Amino acid sequence: MSQSNDHSRRRFLQGAALGTAGLMAGRAAAQTSAQTPDPAITDLSQQPWTQYLGDGVDARPYGMPSPYESHVIRRDVPWLTADAVSSVNFTPLHELDGIITPNGLCFERHHGGVAELDPGSYRLMINGLVDTPKVFTLQDLMRFPRENRIYFLECAANSGMEWRGAQLNGCQFTHGMIHNVMYTGVPLRLILEEAGVKTDAAWVLAEGADAAAMTRSIPLDKALDDCLVAFKMNGEALRPEQGYPVRLVVPGWEGNMWVKWLRRIEVGDKPWYHREETSKYTDLLANGKAREFTWAMDAKSVITNPSPQAPILHGPGPTVLTGVAWSGRGSIPRVDVTIDGGITWHQARMSGPSHDKSMHRFYYEFDWDGGPLLLQSRAHDSTGYVQPTKDMLREVRGENSIYHNNGIQTWAVNEKGEAENVEIT
Amino acid sequence: SRDGGYGLGREAMPEEIAAWDIDIRPDGAGLPDGSGDVWTGEEVFVEKCAACHGDFGEAVGRWPQLAMGMGTLQSQDPVKTVGSYWPYLSTVWDYVHRAMPFGEAQSLSPDEVYAITAYLLYLNEMVEDDFVLSKETFADVTMPNADGFFMDDRETAEYGAFSAEACMENCKDSVEIAMHATVLDVTPDEPSDAPPESEMSESND
């Protein structure tokens, strides 16, 4: 077993080194610079970009990342699900900074694969307890007043594989069922008002156009409050895998409710109790009873660097620790971090925009002495909620809830700078 | 309701609503006319469902198990099936009709869905083998775990404990690692163009 351990660590280091080859080379050169001039500076043949012309402006109509960033990709875990169609992949959080997730890296979760809709054939129906059932085309939707909002979308099952203990080695896998983008869309309220909601209405059912015909019941209060019918993400049209041409945005609430390829909103007086709110997205407790309608995503955070996929490669000295935090109940005014497993905590430095129900970026700069570290982060949200430990959650819920694991994550960093997903006492 | 608005969109026609509004509620609202018995359900199930779910709903490979698992919800490994976990029969009808068979959704007739649903009830030992499910007999069936769910209570059960003042200094005497992810070694390898042969052959340890 220990052989397998070393093997696994080696593999992670190799993988990490692949992605940071440039950084490593730069470091080697910098270390020798006292005696030898750096050929990255003195040797023109090592700087072909200085001598020869590059691509013209007509070469890249839709630009892609540098080939040196080809490792920054969504990843999947084949053993998690029976097939790749009703499945999930993961955002590479350890490679990102700031708070905005690039569209091509936003994790995917489908129940019937990616529906490839023709925007010309797109229709949104509003029916049920309304004065006038309505049909809208995409063009109709784009004639309503729009709003721009930055929100996180976190899968209810994010970190779900970690309920019984440390399992997957990397924040991409333990925390990567999340993305954070700017949505442009129409308040669902305006569309519902266009149909005229009847006085006995209390719920809406949102339904997708894909082969899963995904449905979720949403209380009317939420629908009228801040839900958006969105057609843009980060300024461009939604990606097909994110619901092109139209998805529902349900700020702060579990990702399953953000129905993609949105085709219908039915207004009713009671919830529908469909498959995704009975069999799935209900949270079984130790006593055999299950919570239903656990909509809000509680305050949560994770250190993205250092982490198992992003070891410390530069040796002792100045070190940047960074991560993300978010809460479905508000904003994140404060994150605490510890490097000794929670004996001593430090307030992290928040940087960048702070929006309700959005990701927040935090940093903690410290001088690493080269010794082992136990890293944790602890989010505080604007309601006063403090992110609990996994043990605190298990005490209330047991180990079989599957969903809503927002417990504090620990990374163990060894003397070589390698990081591992662990649980501590 | 609201007067005016933007005058956008048009009125939906009854045929259009009928085509898309296929949802069923726990009180049976939305159920179409039709019926199906257990043995017809078995025939349809074996032909269209059993390749993934097994002849008796026991599941093939990683596909979902649909039957049995009674009394396991408090155990270390709960088996959550239609019989052991699902609170409402309407959900079975609605979901089978809207999303199954996987890869050929919305291909089943109402009678076929009634029959499959009846067979699933039989597999879960909830009805006898002469049972006929229809819009009329639907209300006669109560699911075993109908009372197994309660509304999200995190506000009262957790929020107080999880909003206490956070300790910043001397929070514990010592710390020990209790569990390592690398012991399990189930994380996918990093992507690489050419993994060494030895890496490939060792990866099933």
Whole-Å CA distances, A28 to A23, A34, A38, A306: 9, 12, 10, 21
Q: Which two tokens stand for residue A385?
A: 């909620």
**Chain A residues near residue B98 by CB distance under 8 angstroms:** 212-213, 215
* Angle subtended at Cα A197 by Cα A192 and Cα A198, rounded to the nearest 5 degrees: 170
Q: Closest residue of A to B205, CA-based?
A: A4
Q: Are A304 and A360 in contact (CB under 8 A)?
A: no
From the list B10, B166, B178, the residue facing A135 with the nearest CB is B10
User: How far is Cα A231 from Cα A142, in angstroms, rounded to an integer?
Assistant: 9
User: How far is Cα A294 from Cα B157, in angstroms, rounded to an integer?
Assistant: 13
ipTM entry: 0.91
**B137 and A CB contact within 8 Å:** no
**A375 and B CB contact within 8 Å:** no
Q: Tell me, what DSSP letter sits at residue A194?
A: H
From the list A284, A345, A420, the residue facing B78 with the nearest CB is A284
Contact A211 B105 (CB under 8 A): yes
The per-residue pLDDT for A7 is 44
Q: Which two tokens stand for residue A44?
A: 């023109």
Confidence of residue B92 (pLDDT cuts 50, 70, 90): very high
3-state secondary structure of A389: coil
Give the torsion sign (CA, A314, A315, A316, A321): positive
Whole-Å CA distances, A425 to A82, A370, B11, B171, B177: 34, 23, 62, 12, 6
Contact B150 A132 (CB under 8 A): no
The per-residue pLDDT for B199 is 32
| Surface of A (249-268) touching B: CB under 8 A | 263-264, 266, 268
**A131 and B CB contact within 8 Å:** yes
**Chain B residues near residue A388 by CB distance under 8 angstroms:** 158, 161-162
Contact A343 B171 (CB under 8 A): yes
The per-residue pLDDT for B185 is 84
**Chain B residues near residue A18 by CB distance under 8 angstroms:** 190, 192
Whole-Å CA distances, A404 to A155, A211, A281, A302, B18: 9, 26, 9, 15, 36
The average pLDDT across B86-104 equals 98
3-state secondary structure of A123: strand
**B186 and A CB contact within 8 Å:** yes
**B159 and A CB contact within 8 Å:** yes
User: How far is Cα A398 from Cα A412, in angstroms, rounded to an integer?
Assistant: 25
pTM reported for the whole predicted model:
0.92
Of the residues B10, B75, B180, B187, the best mutation for testing chain A's interface (the one with the most A CB atoms within 10 Å of its CB) is B187
Q: Closest residue of A to B106, CA-based?
A: A211
Report the residue count for chain B: 205
Asked if residue B198 has pLDDT above 60, the reply is: no
The per-residue pLDDT for A230 is 98
Contact B177 A423 (CB under 8 A): yes
Per the DSSP assignment, residues forming a β-bridge with A86 are none
pLDDT digits 0-9 by tens, B27-85: 999 999 999 999 999 999 999 999 999 999 999 999 999 999 999 999 999 999 999 99
Closest CA to A215 of A223, A230, A204: A204
Task: Please state, as a whole number, how many other Cβ atoms lie within 10 Å of the Cβ of residue A48.
Answer: 9
**Chain A residues near residue B196 by CB distance under 8 angstroms:** none
Minimal CA separation from B105 to chain A, in Å? 6
**Chain B residues near residue A16 by CB distance under 8 angstroms:** 190
Minimal CA separation from A51 to chain B, in Å? 30
Domains of chain A, earliest start first: 75-291 (3.90.420.10), 300-422 (2.60.40.650)
Contact A420 B182 (CB under 8 A): yes
The per-residue pLDDT for B184 is 81
The number of angstroms, rounded, from the C-alpha of A407 to the middle of its chain's C-alpha atoms is 16
Per-residue pLDDT of chain A (425 residues), as tens digits, is 334 444 444 444 444 444 444 454 444 445 545 689 999 999 999 999 999 999 999 999 999 999 999 999 999 999 999 999 999 999 999 999 999 999 999 999 999 999 999 999 999 999 999 999 999 999 999 999 999 999 999 999 999 999 999 999 999 999 999 999 999 999 999 999 999 999 999 999 999 999 999 999 999 999 999 999 999 999 999 999 999 999 999 999 999 999 999 999 999 999 999 999 999 999 999 999 999 999 999 999 999 999 999 999 999 999 999 999 999 999 999 999 999 999 999 999 999 999 999 999 999 999 999 999 999 999 999 999 999 999 999 999 999 999 999 999 999 999 999 999 999 99
Of the residues A135, A257, A337, A411, the best mutation for testing chain B's interface (the one with the most B CB atoms within 10 Å of its CB) is A135
Element (DSSP H or E) covering residue A350 = strand A349-351
**B188 and A CB contact within 8 Å:** yes
**A248 and B CB contact within 8 Å:** no
**B194 and A CB contact within 8 Å:** no
The per-residue pLDDT for A63 is 98
| Surface of A (190-209) touching B: CB under 8 A | 190, 193-199, 205, 207
The per-residue pLDDT for A98 is 98
User: How far is Cα B57 from Cα B77, in angstroms, rounded to an integer?
Assistant: 18
User: How far is Cα A215 from Cα A278, in angstroms, rounded to an integer?
Assistant: 12
Of the residues A169, A216, A267, A347, the best mutation for testing chain B's interface (the one with the most B CB atoms within 10 Å of its CB) is A169
Q: Identify residue A40 by its one-letter amino acid code.
A: A
Contact B163 A396 (CB under 8 A): no
User: How far is Cα A288 from Cα A403, in angstroms, rounded to an integer?
Assistant: 15
Confidence of residue B189 (pLDDT cuts 50, 70, 90): confident
The chain-wide mean pLDDT, for chain B, equals: 91
Confidence of residue B191 (pLDDT cuts 50, 70, 90): low
User: How far is Cα A147 from Cα A248, in angstroms, rounded to an integer?
Assistant: 13
Helix B89-99 to helix B110-123 angle (10° resolution) is 130
Q: Which residues have CB under 8 Å from B75's CB, separation 6+?
A: none
Task: Please state, as a whole number, how many other Cβ atoms lie within 10 Å of the Cβ of residue B190.
Answer: 19
